[in-house]
Chain A
Amino acid sequence: MGGFPILSLMLLVPMVGAVACLLAGAKAARMIALVATLADLVLGIVLWANFDIGGGQWQFAERAPIFAGFSWALGIDGIALMLIMLSVFLMPICILASHSIEKRVGEYMATFLFMEVLMIGVFSAQDLFLFYIFFEAGLIPMYLIIGVWGGQNRIYAAYKFFLYTLLGSVLMLIAMLWMANEAGTSDIPTLMNYSFPVHAQTWLWLAFFASFAVKMPMWPLHTWLPDAHVQAPTAGSVILAGVLLKMGGYGFIRFSLPMFPEASAQFAWLIFALSMIAVVVTSLIALVQDDMKKLIAYSSVAHMAIVTVGLFAFNVQGLEGGMMVMLGHGLVSGALFLCVGVIYDRLHTREIDRYGGLAINMPHYATFFLLFTMASIGLPGTSNFIGEFLSLAGIYQVSSTVTLVCTTGIILGAAYMLYLYWRVAFGVQKNADAAAMPDLSGREWVMLGSLAAVVLWMGVYPESFLAPMRQDIQTLNARISVAAPEGDARLAFHGAAAAQADAHEGAH
């Protein structure tokens, strides 16, 4: 692609679209938003097609020192590429899913397009402060999306979302300022190879953790998520679960791990402990929900916990698994929120008991819903299986206990998802209005069909998604391996390894 600033163009297209939507009428705004997001999807595909797998670590780099203190530096590696693809793929679906939005359509579409600018910006920023600006700016559109177009308790949810995430992020800013002073640069690729003093790493890691743990969200900082999800409109939930939660994981993989490897190893126990609690507790909470969106929101917290244990396993499987769960969960939870949105648009309730026997009157819908339910459980052949298996394989090399506890999440996940599916789609049609709902429209077919195709693609041939990331994950693994904690596994049949481990223990 030479020096063509494709990343800047990908930021510019939705930005221009957002301004146009703000000025246009309702009908035109829908059209503009769809065209802008599709244009960005096309640009994303061009980006992927031109991405040189195995080439330089940072591709499509752009750099313009037009600001004081930081510069307009963009560039992506395979990890960022995959997350950008996820964003641009989900955006047109979100715009289609917003068909039921009736009030203030222009402003709605504008905030969504602005959101897309910020998401692509977060994943492509190569400057610490540029990253922070994109990362933090997401508060404004999400605040408006939840507050203006949300459900009954939207105001409380909007406040909670805003203040929680703001408090988490401002501490990170102070840490970033310190890092820029210490290293003399705010360039992310340089900082990823800079060795900060170990005692300082501890504080920096905690400051970044404060931000990413809220965004992720990790137990016990997750309480904003169910509120925000339940109150946001369907498309808002899709973006929130699909992409915004990934910003936390991306933060860990881009900042915490490579920049503070020693501190990451030092705090791995904290991540493991919080993740283990999250997997079990939030899965159990999900099991007793009456509200479909809340159930999926809690399941998101449980899935994100699998991501964090994978990332902090300090090995290639764990890192790859963490990334794959993020991508898979982005698709599947987005799809599940869309499934909820489809029936919510018809009956205007999220209460599980108001539905039942939908497989009879909505067979196509029930099929898609079943596929995504199975994907969420992690059935082989679907996207989540790859990620969860790799994550757990990675963590098994470090700790059998953590693996054991986290695996219960998959069993519990099967329990709450199948229980949900059973109550919604199977059984008798106990509610007349639910029984009268029509099956999927063409628009809904397009949305769910495209998601289903990618979910299966990722499950059957994950190599397409793993290949661009492989080299970057190996680089990252090489960087953090110095600090990798020793595993608890004692491999009896690997004589050499066991002897080495014994010698190591004897030395203590």
Chain B
Amino acid sequence: MDFAASLSLIVPELVLSVSSLVLLLAAAWMGDKASQLISTIACVVLAVCFVLVAPSVCAGVSGPDTLAFGGQFHADAFAGFAKLMIYAASGATILVAPAFFGRIGAMRAEFPVLVLLAVVGMSVMVSAGDLIAFYIGLELNSLASYVLAAFLRSDTRSSEAGLKYFVLGALASGILLFGMSLVYGFTGTTDFDGIHLALSNGLPTGAMFGLVFVLAGLAFKISAVPFHMWTPDVYEGAPTPVTTFFASAPKVASVALTARVAMEMFGSEVDAWRPIVIFAALASIIVGAVGAIGQSNIKRLLAYSSINNIGFLLIGLAAATAAGVSAMLVYLAIYVVMTVGSFVVVLMMKDENGQQIEGIADLAGLSRTRPVLAWCFMIQLFSLAGIPPLFGFWGKFVVFWAAVDAGLFALAVLGIAASVISAFYYIKIVKIMFFDEPADTIRGESDWVHWALLAICTVLISPFGFLLTAWLGNLADQAAAALFLLA
């Protein structure tokens, strides 16, 4: 394939890279007063990329025509589906940030630029067809994320979050690189398809170690148990818009990358990695559920909730079928909407001076003081708990259906029984909001962007979301099929 064709496949990434560099220069020359303008342009850029990627997802493209640079980069429907979620979640992050940082005078022009750089990294991650592209994308995203976590330089919690994230992230990168080197050493190639073919005759012990280390590194990135410890600390310490970002876009990218690694690179070794994924899935569901019960900070609680959700996502991966990957994508799409919705509610928790509040106890009696906010949050929470008729139920439903279809009954039964534990802490928050006497600390007004985002998320999560199931399922099926060309 010639160079021009390859370049035409990476147009969204080119647009993102060039515009982020231009905006970086603009930020350097124009200073922080231009941050509003730069944020707006960044959102427009993401919207343009969204439009650029959408046709490939709708058409469900896959196969040799989507390989750029000799297979290093896959611009297939699977990558496209993940990219759409990443762009949407990142756009939402940039939209909610100015109000948060502006109030404390910390809005800097670098914020949207860093988000854009992270998005470039994530785009490469989900499209990676080669270990090198995989690592470059991951690191580009991670480096931008470390800076974002420490964005409030004067705030010790934010600096602590950045440092923790960096040290543990570097460790995970090391583990990942070690695994990659083993895989390369035992297969003689860095190409995903090449590794697939090389391993199809059997899995050498060294490559087995490589597989375990690669999965461990990825488990850190998706914050699956037992590599989840950084999540609550980083989510709590990072500024809330950044937490919104961490919980949504990089999650999507890492999960999509994990699916691609598992299905494309190690697609012939399902039996080797399935026990690992099953363990991580059940452990994440249980630790995520039990860990959340004792939390008093809403951001920590949502961090455990995201660990819990990763467990359900991994059940789809454990199925190791096209239906399972499709279910994961559907779950991810719903999860992104619920996550953005819940964090927007957290961003809207302000006292009368406009200070952010993060205590769960401050939500007490919210249904009487701020009924609309309370009802919206309740819908998000019941949806996260997977109670029908809310749309979060559909995500769990398709994932468990895929697991049952693949014959994993024990996993499905244990997973769904453990979901009852997680339901407990969600309904505990509903109890605090609806049954308790009002604490009346949440009084601050929120700007219309927050309300608009919350309204969009709530409508998508409401039973109306079920009208999307046929369309969403169709897109996800096409996208998932792109991963199973070699099988």
Contacts and interface: CB of A to CB of B under 8 A. Distances in A.
A39 interface: no
Given A66-B470, A173-B400, A174-B404, A143 B427 contact: yes
Contacts of A159: 424, 427, 431
A68 B470 CA distance: 4
Interface in A146-180: 147-148, 154-155, 158-159, 162-163, 166-167, 170-171, 173-174, 177-178, 180
Contact of A67 (B393, B431, B466): B466
A164 B409 CA distance: 22
A129 interface: yes
B50 interface: no
B420 interface: yes
Nearest to B418: A170
A134 B387 CA distance: 10
18 contacts: A66-B470, A67-B469, A68-B469, A69-B397, A69-B401, A104-B367, A107-B371, A136-B388, A140-B387, A147-B434, A148-B367, A163-B424, A170-B416, A171-B413, A173-B397, A174-B412, A177-B401, A178-B404
B95 interface: no
B370 to A, nearest CB: 14
A139 interface: yes
Nearest to A121: B389
B427 A162 contact: yes
A324 to B, nearest CB: 31
A69 B388 CA distance: 15
B16 interface: no
A6 to B, nearest CB: 21
Given A133-B388, A154-B435, A181-B404, A66 B467 contact: yes
A210 to B, nearest CB: 10
B382 interface: yes
Interface in A99-143: 104, 107, 129, 132-134, 136-137, 139-140, 143
Given A66-B467, A69-B469, A163-B423, A137 B387 contact: yes
B420 A166 contact: yes
B398 A178 contact: no
B417 A137 contact: no
Nearest to A114: B389
A163 B474 CA distance: 34
A22 B367 CA distance: 12
Contacts, number: 94
Interface in A45-93: 66-69
Contacts of B412: 174, 177
Contacts of A163: 420, 423-424
A171 B473 contact: no
Interface in B409-436: 409, 412-413, 416-417, 419-420, 423-424, 427, 430-431, 434-435
Nearest to A110: B375
Interface residues of B, number: 36
A144 interface: yes
B105 to A, nearest CB: 39
B431 A155 contact: yes
B368 interface: yes
B434 A144 contact: yes
A139, A163, A177: residue with the most chain B Cβ atoms closer than 10 Å: A177
Contacts of B424: 159, 163
A155 B472 CA distance: 38
B435 A137 contact: no
B373 to A, nearest CB: 14
A68 B327 CA distance: 12
Nearest to A118: B389
Interface string A176-202: 011011000000000000000000000
B65 interface: no
Contacts of A174: 400, 404, 409, 412-413, 416
Which secondary structure characterizes the binding site on chain B?
helix
Contact of A137 (B388, B472, B473, B474): B388
Nearest to B412: A174
A464 B107 CA distance: 73
B404 A171 contact: no
Contacts of A132: 388
A159 B434 CA distance: 13
A107, A133, A180: residue with the most chain B Cβ atoms closer than 10 Å: A133
B445 interface: no
B416 A162 contact: no
Contact of B431 (A22, A69, A158): A158
A498 B434 CA distance: 65
B473 A147 contact: no
Given A104-B368, A148-B434, A178-B409, 10 more contacts: A147-B434, A155-B435, A158-B427, A158-B431, A166-B420, A166-B423, A167-B417, A173-B416, A174-B404, A174-B412
A464 to B, nearest CB: 34
Interface string B334-345: 000000000000
B405 interface: yes
Contacts of B427: 143, 158-159, 162
A271 to B, nearest CB: 23
B398 A69 contact: yes
B404, B424, B466, B474: residue with the most chain A Cβ atoms closer than 10 Å: B404
A139 B387 contact: yes
Contacts of B387: 136-137, 139-140, 166
A69 B473 contact: yes
Contact of B420 (A67, A147, A170): A170
Contacts of A104: 367-368
B318 to A, nearest CB: 15
A68 B472 contact: yes
B388 A148 contact: no
Contacts of A129: 397
Interface string A223-258: 000000000000000000000000000000000000
Given A174-B413, A174-B416, A177-B400, A67 B470 contact: yes
Contacts of B393: 133, 136
A166 to B, nearest CB: 5
A147 to B, nearest CB: 4
Contacts of A162: 423, 427
A331 B367 CA distance: 34
Across chains A and B, which 10 residue pairs bring their CB atoms closest together, nearest first? A68-B473, A133-B388, A68-B469, A177-B404, A170-B416, A68-B470, A147-B435, A137-B389, A167-B420, A67-B469
A162 B427 CA distance: 9
A22 B371 CA distance: 10
Nearest to A164: B420
A60 B474 CA distance: 30
A140 to B, nearest CB: 6
A137 B392 CA distance: 12
Contacts of A133: 388-389, 393
Interface in A294-346: none
Contacts of A140: 382, 387
B405 A181 contact: yes
Interface string B459-470: 000000011011
B419 A170 contact: yes
Interface in A426-478: none
Contacts of B405: 177, 181
A24 B426 CA distance: 28
A166 B385 CA distance: 11
Nearest to A72: B466
B402 to A, nearest CB: 9
A215 to B, nearest CB: 15
Contacts of A68: 469-470, 472-474
Contacts of A67: 466-467, 469-470
A455 B382 CA distance: 39
A143 B423 CA distance: 12
A162 B425 CA distance: 12
A148 B435 contact: yes
Interface in B446-487: 466-467, 469-470, 472-474
Contacts of A173: 397, 400, 416
